[in-house]
Amino acid sequence: MQTRLAFEYILTPKGMVRDQALVVGADGRIERIEPRGAGPYDGFLAIPGMPNAHSHAFQRALAGYGEVPSGEDSFWSWRDAMYRLANRVSPEDMFVIAREAFWDMLRGGYTSVAEFHYLHHMPDGRPGAQMGRAVIAAARETGIRLRLLPVFYQQGGFGRPARDEQRRFVHGSIEEFCALLSELHGVDLGLAPHSLRAVPAETLDKLLAATAGIMGPDAPVHIHISEQRREVEECQAAYGATPVTVLARHVTLGPRWNLVHATHATDAEMQVTRESGAGVVICPITEAYLGDGLFAAHEFVSAGGRIAIGSDSNCRIDAIEELRLLEYGQRLRQERRARLATSAGLGMPLWQLACRGGAQALGHVSGALEVGHFADLVVVQHEASALRGHDVDTLMDALIIGGSRADISDVYVGGARRVRAGVCHGQEQSAHAFDEAVRRLNAI
């Protein structure tokens, strides 16, 4: 059965088109784009849904906690608060938290998510796939497109054993990890060696070979890298080189690889990343939240680098705001304006750049409103205050500079409407369950 969705404006790879309709097939893919003809519009402005290339859904329950200063507060002290939460979450809690996070993502302009899932075992440390299955169930209920990235985690730092509070993350062997992968069904899988802190570089080749038979040789690979200066310093002490350099020495980087953060990557490391075809996943809100620093996105993109964005800690979920902070961070770094803009302005090229990069990071045929791609799209309302006084040439610029998730009306995944007039079906019940879980899990 076909679905036909007509809009006053549609953002396509060739630019903005007017009075057109998307014809969506039973498989959720766009079969053709044709003149609207008679009949009402289904919305004002349709743009590709943003792929969320990096998420830790369970951390949605941590937002607003751990904000009282404690000594020399940093990413590393924040981790202690995160560990306290992580060791309390049950599979039932995981479902409630992930469902709320995924609804929030849909309302915030994301239509797919790469879930970097390392909260594996039961609270008492018993192994099992219950936690991963809870994430999968939450994605199914909300309708968001999921790429589950089970995380391989072996140690607590460079050459250091895992701490007791990390026991839920750790697998004793690659074979044990592969057994977990074999229990996760009905979902697109990818691989996530957590970081060089948590996975010795010498084991990466074996990990890639062992998992290829389960998820395929071309499945996406995501890894945290060069997020914090202390991480870089410890890597240099352990290997005599910085993290991306160490990674490139031990594996063959390529288009399936996605370096999450890469905040403190050197110019030479960024060149290696670009030339290999690997991408960088930037999470501006979380990187500001944790005080990580600013990735040199302007230089990387200007030289042809591929980027995607992610909501990471999910302390604030808004794809428009992520891109605005990405652009503003570059302005602050270089004390100049329009860093990620082109001759077409800021909004259209930046949104499409992040959508293309995100789609590749997730390994999905999405991120563009064109024939053959999934009809994953976000509809911006005509009444959006940020768009008042703007025409087709500056609509997207206005959205990035002055807009927010509040300006999104409807969201479709595979042509199926998941958000209507800013509301998700069942969101009130979900919010109530989430509220109870957050209060209980964060109680002292």
For the chain, 444 residues long, the average pLDDT of each consecutive 10-residue run is 94 97 98 95 98 98 86 72 92 98 98 98 92 98 98 96 92 97 97 98 98 96 97 98 98 98 98 98 97 97 98 98 98 98 97 98 98 98 94 96 98 98 92 97 87
Rounded-to-integer distance, Cα 278 and Cα 181, Å: 24
What pLDDT is stored for residue 99 in this prediction?
98
What pLDDT is stored for residue 444 in this prediction?
72
What pLDDT is stored for residue 1 in this prediction?
78
Rounded-to-integer distance, Cα 161 and Cα 198, Å: 9
What pLDDT is stored for residue 70 in this prediction?
73
Sign of the torsion angle spanned by Cα atoms 69, 71, 73, 75: negative
Q: Sketch out the chain's domains with CATH numbers.
A: 3-48+368-427 (2.30.40.10), 50-362 (3.20.20.140)
What pLDDT is stored for residue 68 in this prediction?
79
- Pairing mode, if any, of strands 188-189 and 145-152? parallel
Catalytically active residues are 261, 312
Task: Round the CA-based radius of gyration of the chain to a whole number and report it.
Answer: 21
What pLDDT is stored for residue 73 in this prediction?
64
**Vertex 293, ends 292 and 296: CA angle to 5°?**
135
Q: Which residue has the tokens 């570059």?
A: 330
Short-list 245, 258, 156, CA closest to 198? 156
What pLDDT is stored for residue 78 in this prediction?
77
- Tokens representing 377 are 């799209």
CA-CA distances (angstroms) from residue 423 to 10, 94, 302, 361, 438? Answer: 22, 22, 38, 28, 22
What pLDDT is stored for residue 79 in this prediction?
78
314 contact partners, CB below 8 Å, separation of at least 6: 55, 56, 57, 59, 60, 63, 101, 104
What pLDDT is stored for residue 427 in this prediction?
87
Short-list 271, 239, 278, 273, CA closest to 257? 278
- Collapsing DSSP states into helix, strand and coil, what is residue 201? helix
Identity at 25, one-letter amino acid code? G
